[in-house]
Amino acid sequence: MLARAPAWTCRLGAICCCWLLGSPLAAASSFTAIQVAGGDEARANCTGSPVAAAAAAGQQPTFSELLPGSLPVAGKRDIAWIWLGSSTQRYTHAALGSGTHAASLHAITRGQNGRELVLELPPERVIEDRLPRLADLDGDGQDEAIVVESHASRGAALVVYAIDRSGSQQRWLERARSEPVGAMRWLNPVGVADFDGDGHSEIASVSTPHIGGVLTLYRYAPPHLRTVARMGGVSNHRMGSPEQRLSAIVRGPRGPLVVVPDQAFARLLLLQWRAGQGWREAAAPVGLPAPVERMRERGEAVCVELRGGAWLRINAR
């Protein structure tokens, strides 16, 4: 059951604060402060891209066969760069505004003199995604790649790939896969964090964000991504838009919180997962004076860009 906090709205231009409301019997010591800043302070803290700045500081490779509209991602561990390639129209679903998708996953690893590793998908599958993700899911110090992969008859699933270094040549290997969401159905990842505090990261994602979006938490358990929790009534994508970054994770002293719009895109929900309790509201919803354009994680905060150029900055304290 989802524990609810009292109704609350933050005005732009103000700094607002509210506290975590767990179950009615939750001890006061379990409360966490949530700070939402708007106006000039939020704009000053949120404008500019640390990722872009870091990428610009180094030499970028040539991204062969880069899927139009997709973004290469710079890694911090063993994978230097990852991107989507090999445009194909063999899967006509257009959740992202186009029936053109990627048929290959590309990476350049560190220490390989720029050698490119390519994974080519079979004809019945595509990568229905515009932003590959890198995360160390098993704690071995090396990155796994997380993508949205769609099957011609089964629809979308989250898939985890890693680079196998056991032989003389490095190669991509599939490590884990979620259950598909159904034919011509799609999902949009939120992000990766250690939600249960066991030292290993889980993956948060929204299944079918256009038709009753369900916030789903997956545990990495090769060869599967196992569903840990589900909660309906959310969305992190608008049908036909190439922008996928409409949700994010804020890092707080009592664990990560998912920041995601409700199904109507009228409010931002701040949700925390607890074993035995599932998803619950960590603070009252944030009313939105304008639609969300995109979100980005900056350090331990989440920056929310609104239509018209306004910003919100969300911290957990």
Q: Is the dihedral of CA 261, 277, 272, 194 positive or negative?
A: negative
Residue 139 placed within a domain: no
Tens digit of each residue's pLDDT, the chain (317 residues): 444 443 334 444 443 444 333 332 232 234 457 788 888 878 888 885 544 444 444 578 889 999 999 999 999 999 999 999 999 999 999 999 999 999 999 999 987 666 899 999 999 999 999 999 999 999 999 999 999 999 999 999 999 999 998 877 889 999 999 999 999 999 999 999 999 998 999 999 999 999 999 999 999 999 999 999 999 999 999 999 999 999 999 998 889 999 999 999 999 999 999 988 999 999 899 999 999 999 999 888 999 999 999 999 999 88
Say which residues have a Cβ less than 8 Å from residue 53's Cβ, sequence separation at least 6: none
Residue 50 placed within a domain: yes
Strands 202-207 and 187-193: antiparallel
Number of independent structural domains in the chain: 1
Closest CA to 237 of 118, 145, 156, 137: 156
Burial status of residue 184 (CB atoms within 10 A of its CB: 0-12, 13-18, 19 or more): middle
Residue 197 placed within a domain: no
The pair of three-digit structure tokens given for residue 127, joined into one six-digit string: 């990568």
C-alpha 149/C-alpha 126 separation (Å) is: 6
Q: Is the pTM of this model over 0.85?
A: yes
φ/ψ (deg, to 5) at 39: 70, -150
C-alpha 87/C-alpha 1 separation (Å) is: 43
The residue to which tokens 């990852």 are assigned: 82
Residue 185 placed within a domain: no
C-alpha 158/C-alpha 150 separation (Å) is: 9
CB–CB of 181/207 below 8 Å?
yes
Residue 48 placed within a domain: yes
Residue 33 placed within a domain: yes
Residue 39 placed within a domain: yes
Say which residues have a Cβ less than 8 Å from residue 55's Cβ, sequence separation at least 6: 74
- Domain of residue 301 covers 1-60+245-317
Residue 165 placed within a domain: no
